[in-house]
Structure 1
């Protein structure tokens, strides 16, 4: 992995920077607290957000406008990721990601599991057709919600990675070998905390385990499993930009 830098105070630079993802650095600590009220973006543009949601829902009726967490004052400095979380709805999240409004202090900060096999291959999932990102090939993970908030008001983003890994693949993060390492990547309002989970099984075994799990789940979020040995293996796949820069940091060319 690349070494962490001292950058702090992440910014949304607007739609013109879409696809310009970058590695922010490695972190060893995460400090996120839940704040009161809605993000300012969610209230200031409520009518536009609702109209946008109706258009997205018409295109994909399987979408669900549930409660999620948005994040303000996201910063990375001294090996520490910090932020303030606020509750909002999924419609607000989709509007944020689709519009990428410049200067808005609101981020889709989420945890993602980079599943690494004992023979050095990264295992990703292809998203099912009913999800918000059908066909995308990416690390398993998802936007945090109230289930990731602890009793004392902290957002457990590391725990969210383990939860999403289990829900989407059936893999237990506790089976990983050694402590995970964490890489922060950003693409405008989208910021991923990528936890590298090193499992004691080779790629064929890992893929088989996940395929059996998703075959038994009629509501599986991923429809297929992809294992990559090198960055060049990802050519032609529909991989989000943030995920591609993470691949560059984790795999040989």
Structure 2
């Protein structure tokens, strides 16, 4: 199966069948010395980094509006080396975005904290899939979305209105799986709540919220994959929610 899906186009996704393989990822297995050496450099630059567990793909395909794939648990240090060696690595990254839509149709994103790898960058609150995001070996995308938004912003999306389906955008740097989550409050109120949450945290992951009100309202530091998602939303995104 390897990696077989259209690139640089937004795809409708009715189901995500990505399974966690208990065997080691070949990239981690074959690059132990380089992983350790690179991690020393990363820690020297960002001492707050934590070598936790994330997942990395070894296969992903798009078939009949479904994403089908295989991933493996790896150390974050492995992921950090992979970021510098994506080409011909036999590995790819997938992550999920809850597209947070306020009651006034504005989007609410976040700016990452200065101590993080993506310091100053703007995207929807999100994090890599972790083993906790899998149920009987199958990824639970919505669990990941709700968990990450709650951890980073304090906003609970468990009762928010969800879009009817997922969508995905795959680029050479990774595949983002996204879904609208609509809440009733206007963007200013959501922003106020996030700012209060960040202020109360001893070590917040984010600097604060970023409100995006139209397709031309692009903030500084916007991650490259975000512009197509913002344009998709304000163009209607193929669905009402």
TM-score by length of 2: 0.89
Which of the residues 19, 23, 31 maps onto 2:9?
Answer: 23
In the aligned structure 1, how far is the partner of 2:162 from the partner of 2:49? 37
Which of the residues 227, 233, 240 maps onto 1:244?
Answer: 227
Shift of 1:186: 2.1
Deviations 1:56-108 (A, max 9, x none): 11111111111111112111222211211211111111122223223x33121
In the aligned structure 1, how far is the partner of 2:87 from the partner of 2:78? 12
Match of 1:211 in 2: 195
In the aligned structure 2, how far is the partner of 1:199 from the partner of 1:86? 34
Structure 1 segment 25-174 matched on structure 2, within 5 A: 25-102=11-88, 104-150=89-135, 152-174=136-158
Could you list the runs of 5+ residues in structure 1 that have no partner in the other structure?
1-7, 12-20
TM-score by length of 1: 0.85
CA contact (8 A) 1:22 1:245 kept: no
Alignment length (residue pairs) = 233
Shift of 1:178: 4.5
Give yes or no for the alignment of 1:226 onto 2:210. yes
In the aligned structure 1, how far is the partner of 2:66 from the partner of 2:203? 36
Could you list the runs of 5+ residues in structure 2 that have no partner in the other structure?
236-241
Match of 1:17 in 2: none
Give yes or no for the alignment of 1:9 onto 2:4. yes
Deviations 1:20-72 (A, max 9, x none): x7234121211121112111111222222222221111111111111111112
Give yes or no for the alignment of 1:198 onto 2:191. no
In the aligned structure 1, how far is the partner of 2:67 from the partner of 2:216? 30
